[in-house]
């Protein structure tokens, strides 16, 4: 086992003894969630092409437990918005987000999804955070696959340390209410 | 025998007289202006006339000329193509500040969406169009964004400082 290059996810902190291991539920759930984030790609332009490279064998997002790309929002954990979102597309993106079940996370990949990018014009949404809450922003125009992987890893950190009760907290309800969701 | 400009001109002048004017060869395309009141009749004539038979509508679009006089504020441009002779023409109809023109969607079905697009972006009203509503922009939009007075930048932007985009007159 020592000679193998395989790197497994480290178990959370806890107390080990003869035949038992005690730790916090938060940590176990967080570890499980963080290492099986099913992505829902919402690719509208060139950032989506970079995402294809990210999923392919060279960069291989499967190493992070995200190989199962879900094309249904109902079975996805992580909405990855890649590309320019026009204002006409805004309500559709929002509907996709609303169809995802909790817990759900959002990554805005690239300048357009994060801020509208170079498209400072009447028809383009100036960042998807105008319609849905975003957890991680990946800069770049388009970002390289390494940056997208970095964004996913940053999200994994968030997921790992998130309290299981966060989604029912008043702060979270307030956040959703500020976007008029639910 | 290829279809010559002079033949197109003669046929049109014989049929419509003063309503067709300002014939000229613009670069590689033969162009002329028409009276906007008679656009449907002229386009139908161009399509159905045995000698001309411009059977294909390549494009239909609007133009805004804010600096022109009141009667020439907008234009609708028709690009027609005769496939047999491989001859293309450009037909231009000028409109006033409240632009209205008859639809040609019954002559060329393809113009249905093009007219909707022209309505969407320029607010040119195509009288008799079966479904004149927005096609590319959001339905909630009330302005016509390709008109020159429309500001290009998004009014709702909050995070973009004009100074970093070269948009301020005073560079201080």
ipTM of the complex: 0.72
pLDDT tens readout for residues B27-85: 999 999 999 999 999 999 999 999 999 999 999 999 999 999 999 999 999 999 999 99
A159 falls within a domain: no
Is residue A163, in this structure, part of any structural domain at all? Answer: no
pLDDT at A124 over 60: yes
Q: Do residue B165 and residue A120 have CB atoms under 8 angstroms apart? A: yes
pLDDT at A8: 82
In a domain, A113, yes or no: yes
Q: Is residue B95 part of a domain?
A: yes
Q: What's the confidence (pLDDT) of residue B169? A: 65
**CA dist., res. A61 & res. A109, Å (int):** 15
**CATH number reported for the structural domain that contains residue B13 in this entry:** 3.30.460.80
Tell me whether residue A8 is in a domain.
Answer: no
Query: What mean pLDDT do residues A111-135 have?
Result: 90
Q: Is B151 on the interface with A (CB under 8 A)?
A: yes
pLDDT of residue A121: 85
Segment A33-52, tens digit of pLDDT: 999 999 999 999 999 999 99
Domain limits for position A61: 33-153
Taking residues B144-150, report their average pLDDT: 90
Q: Is the pLDDT of residue A104 over 80?
A: yes
Strand ranges of the sheet holding B20-26, from the earlier edge strand across to the other edge: B20-26, B29-34, B87-95, B74-82, B56-64
Q: Count helices and strands (H / E) in chain B.
A: 3, 7
Q: On the CB side of A10, how many CA atoms lie within 13 Å of its CA?
A: 4
Predicted confidence (pLDDT) per residue in B86-114, tens digit: 999 999 999 998 999 999 999 999 999 99
Contacting residues of A for B155, CB less than 8 Å apart = 122
User: Is B153 inside a domain boundary?
Assistant: no
B137: Cβ–Cβ under 8 A, 6 or more apart, which residues?
Answer: A88, A123, B120, B121, B145
* Eight-class DSSP state of B97: S
Determine, yes or no, domain membership for B96.
yes
In a domain, A176, yes or no: no
CB of B137 within 8 Å of a chain A CB? The answer is: yes
Q: Would you say residue B165 has pLDDT above 70?
A: no
pLDDT-based confidence at A150, cuts 50/70/90? very high
**C-alpha span between B108 and A144 (Å, rounded):** 47
Distances (CA, A) of A58 to A42, A54, A68, A70: 21, 8, 17, 21
Helices of type H across chain B: 5-16, 39-48, 111-122
CATH number at residue A61: 3.40.50.12280
Query: Does the beta-carbon distance from B145 to A123 stay under 8 Å?
Result: yes
Q: How far is B153 from chain A (nearest CA, A)?
A: 4
> At B19, is the secondary structure helix, strand, or coil?
helix
> Considering CB atoms only, which of A87, A115, A126 is closest to B138?
A87
Contact B90, B76 (CB under 8 A): no
Collect all residues of chain B within an 8 Å Cβ-Cβ radius of residue A116: 154, 157, 160
Asked whether residue B138 carries a pLDDT value surpassing 90, the answer given is no
| CA–CA gap between residue A63 and residue A41 (Å, rounded) | 17
Average the pLDDT over A60-72 and give the result. Answer: 89
State how many domains chain A has: 1
Nearest chain B residue to A123, by CA: B137
Pairing of β B100-102 and β A136-138: unpaired
How many Cβ contacts (< 8 angstroms) between chains A and B?
A: 37
Residues in chain B: 172
Given this model, what pLDDT does residue B141 score?
86
pTM over 0.90: no
Angle between helices A25-34 and A145-161 in degrees, nearest 10: 160
Q: Look at A120 and B160 and tell me if their CB atoms are within 8 Å.
A: yes
**Full residue range of the structural domain in which residue B80 is found:** 5-104
Integer Cα distance of A71 and A42 in angstroms = 9
Residues of B within 8 A of A123 (CB-CB) are 136-137, 145
Query: In this structure, is residue B127 part of a structural domain?
Result: no
Question: What is the tally of structural domains in chain B?
Answer: 1
C-alpha R_g of chain A: 18
User: Is residue A78 included in any domain, yes or no?
Assistant: yes
More confident of the two residues A145 and A8: A145
Q: Is the pLDDT of residue A1 over 60?
A: no
pLDDT for res A34: 92
In a domain, A9, yes or no: no
Residue B60 DSSP symbol: E
- Lookup result for tokens 């109809």: B93
State which residue of chain B sits closest to A117, comparing Cα positions: B160
| A138 part of a folded domain | yes
């Amino acid at each position: 086992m020592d000679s193998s290059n395989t790197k497994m996810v480290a178990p959370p902190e806890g107390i080990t003894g003869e035949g038992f291991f005690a730790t916090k539920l938060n940590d176990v759930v967080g570890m499980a969630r963080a290492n099986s984030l099913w992505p829902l790609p919402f690719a509208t332009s060139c950032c989506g092409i970079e995402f294809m490279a990210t999923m392919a064998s060279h960069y291989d997002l499967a190493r992070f437990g995200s190989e199962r790309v879900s094309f249904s929002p109902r079975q996805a954990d992580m909405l990855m918005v890649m590309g320019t979102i026009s204002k006409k597309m805004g309500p559709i993106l929002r509907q996709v987000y609303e169809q995802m079940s909790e817990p759900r996370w959002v990554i805005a990949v690239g300048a357009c999804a994060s801020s509208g990018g170079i498209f400072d014009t009447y028809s383009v949404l100036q960042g998807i955070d105008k319609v849905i809450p975003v957890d991680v922003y990946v800069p770049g125009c388009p970002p390289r696959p390494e940056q997208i992987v970095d964004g996913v890893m940053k999200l994994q950190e968030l997921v790992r340390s998130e309290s299981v009760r966060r989604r029912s907290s008043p702060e979270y309800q307030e956040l959703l209410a500020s976007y008029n969701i639910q | 025998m290829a279809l010559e400009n002079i033949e197109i001109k003669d046929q049109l002048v014989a049929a419509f007289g003063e309503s067709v004017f300002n014939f000229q060869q613009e670069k590689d395309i033969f162009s002329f202006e028409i009276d906007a009141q008679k656009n449907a009749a002229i386009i139908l004539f161009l399509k159905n006339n045995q000698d001309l038979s411009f059977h294909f509508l390549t494009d239909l679009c609007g133009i805004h000329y804010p600096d022109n006089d009141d009667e020439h504020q907008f234009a609708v441009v028709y690009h027609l193509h005769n496939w047999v002779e491989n001859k293309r023409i450009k037909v231009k109809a000028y409109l006033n500040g409240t632009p209205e023109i008859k639809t040609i969607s019954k002559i060329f079905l393809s113009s249905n969406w093009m007219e909707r697009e022209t309505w969407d972006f320029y607010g040119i009203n195509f009288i008799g169009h079966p479904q004149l509503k927005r096609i590319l922009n959001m339905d909630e939009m009330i302005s016509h964004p390709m008109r020159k007075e429309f500001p290009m930048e998004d009014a709702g932007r909050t995070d973009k400082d004009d100074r970093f985009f070269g948009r301020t007159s005073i560079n201080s």
